[in-house]
Structure 1
């Protein structure tokens, strides 16, 4: 479905006397320096085919925009650029990074934005851009900048949420409590991989925009793209750092489990020794022999009890001193 469509001239939205759904008429009304921005959300194949017919979009790019399972990329079809971006948002209760997709068709006199998924709504980006006439005056390049800026800002928000969760994992791993952190560490590493698949491939297109080497993107807009590229690089570094921290936390978690198991075995062994030694003495004195030390002694029974208590006390002192108990 078409969410919004408008014609812009010199950084200002132009009122028209044609239906906004009549895209061919809107494009025909565009003069020099004007362009159309059409925003679509989860369009069907038929809806996108109508837009493709009005703006002469390449069928391969249209097919990619409909399928909505593309990696971030920048391609050129004649005079039209096709840019794919992954949108991200974070569900903290589930430690889950949810993904969507935005496809941009960029021509000399039009921008078609096709959005899939719940996140990454471009309404606010359009409103903010319309309030910045100097930026919007760069034409279709300004729309590309605004969309990329919003998407990368979303990446930074997700990265900030992941930083908090990784900090929680580190505190849990190194706490005195016995915790099972392996499942959460795995989930967070999986979500970081999802984020990496969105962030890393986008560095090349944004870098080319920032260098002003892409035909169809205004070279004067390069400083804006450099700002977005800087934010993207910072987010990429954060993702790599968090992945390394989680790997270290997982190794530390395994080491703590091994250490706890060793401590448990020492305690079990010490406890068993405290039982085995008195049992051995009782077993010896319980054998049916006449010629045994102190067997017919008046205090033999007391002697056996004191021997069991004394050996147990000696073992307990030894285990306490050695740290086994």
Structure 2
């Protein structure tokens, strides 16, 4: 879908397949979501901008993601989407900045774009493409900060679960509980890796825009230049926070694996105690279960009680001895 935003207008106008190139004239922001086959030629005829393909947008080389052609700056970043679903991922978004307009190309619907479109519908579209770019970056940074805050909350929850002696219901952590903990840790680590990749692309983009000779118009707009510097500082701060959270996730993973070892040792300990308690009585019972003709105890009236008492004593004495030594 191709949407055109003009300075001062409330919201954007969707462009159809039968629209003339003149419909794009005067647009300060052109948002292209899930480009159709006819939208690329229409945009090229109206603005001279060639839309990048999806394959171009996922190139990992920095020179393929950020470059300049004529008076147009092409910048591709990764944004984290689907954080509220079971399958969060990162998607590429391209920003094409010219002195006349900003063109965004995306194959998803990131929350920062929805928020900014809603802002334009209520307060009007900003007057220059640089203001629009700055506001979009602000929204992206805010959304990334929200994701990191959510991951920090999840890490705190995991920390309490991993180091808790028992579950809220009062029972020990089971194999299913520990499996769920490992899955949650893996999910948090997966999201943090995606956020880190996103912040790296945003840092390259902000560095690209910060070059004084990059955009002559930015030298004339002191306020926008200061806002871009503020965004760059926020991105660097978020990257440090993401690294800190990743270190905490690594610690939690080690702690969870240690907890699993403790639980496994506890199970083995139970079997060991059972062996200690029942092995000596079994020995006594085996002796008196022998089918020899001459056994003195067979003629005793208290022979049965003697055997039972001996088995109990054989079980209790080793248990008390091990308990006193602290082995149990």
Give TM-score, length-normalised by structure 2: 0.79
The 3-state SS of whatever aligns with 2:66 is strand
1:13-52 matches, cutoff 5 A: 22-24=20-22, 27=25, 36-52=28-44
Q: Indicate the residue corresponding to 1:280 in structure 2.
A: 283
Listed as ranges, the gaps of 5+ residues in structure 2 are 166-171
Of 133, 153, 156 in structure 2, the residue corresponding to residue 164 of structure 1 is: 153
Counterparts of 1:5 and 1:111 in 2: how far apart (Å)?
A: 10
Q: Indicate the residue corresponding to 1:53 in structure 2.
A: 45
1:184-203 matches, cutoff 5 A: 184-203=184-203
Deviates more, 1:120-129 or 1:211-220: 120-129
| 1:39-67 deviation per Cα after TM superposition (whole angstroms, max 9, x unaligned) | 2221213212210222112x4xx233686
Q: Indicate the residue corresponding to 2:74 in structure 1.
A: 82
Alpha carbons of structure 1 residues 121 and 114: separation in structure 2 relative to 1, 3 Å:
farther
Q: Indicate the residue corresponding to 2:205 in structure 1.
A: 205
1:19-168 matches, cutoff 5 A: 22-24=20-22, 27=25, 36-57=28-49, 59=50, 62-64=51-53, 68-70=57-59, 73-92=65-84, 94=86, 96-120=87-111, 122=113, 124-125=115-116, 128=119, 136=126, 139-168=128-157
Q: Indicate the residue corresponding to 1:215 in structure 2.
A: 215
The 3-state SS of whatever aligns with 2:214 is coil
Alpha carbons of structure 1 residues 293 and 274: separation in structure 2 relative to 1, 3 Å:
farther
Listed as ranges, the gaps of 5+ residues in structure 1 are none
Count, aligned residues: 305
Counterparts of 1:293 and 1:158 in 2: how far apart (Å)?
A: 80
Counterparts of 1:264 and 1:123 in 2: how far apart (Å)?
A: 52
Counterparts of 1:51 and 1:159 in 2: how far apart (Å)?
A: 36
Deviation at 1:131, TM superposition (A): 8.3
The 3-state SS of whatever aligns with 1:122 is helix
- Contact map agreement 1:88 1:97 (CA 8 A) in 2: yes
Deviation at 1:292, TM superposition (A): 5.2
Counterparts of 1:163 and 1:89 in 2: how far apart (Å)?
A: 18
Counterparts of 2:213 and 2:280 in 1: how far apart (Å)?
A: 84
Deviation at 1:268, TM superposition (A): 0.4
Deviation at 1:98, TM superposition (A): 3.8
- Contact map agreement 1:277 1:311 (CA 8 A) in 2: yes
| 1:205-264 deviation per Cα after TM superposition (whole angstroms, max 9, x unaligned) | 213434545235503222101221222222212222222222211111111111222222
Give TM-score, length-normalised by structure 1: 0.80
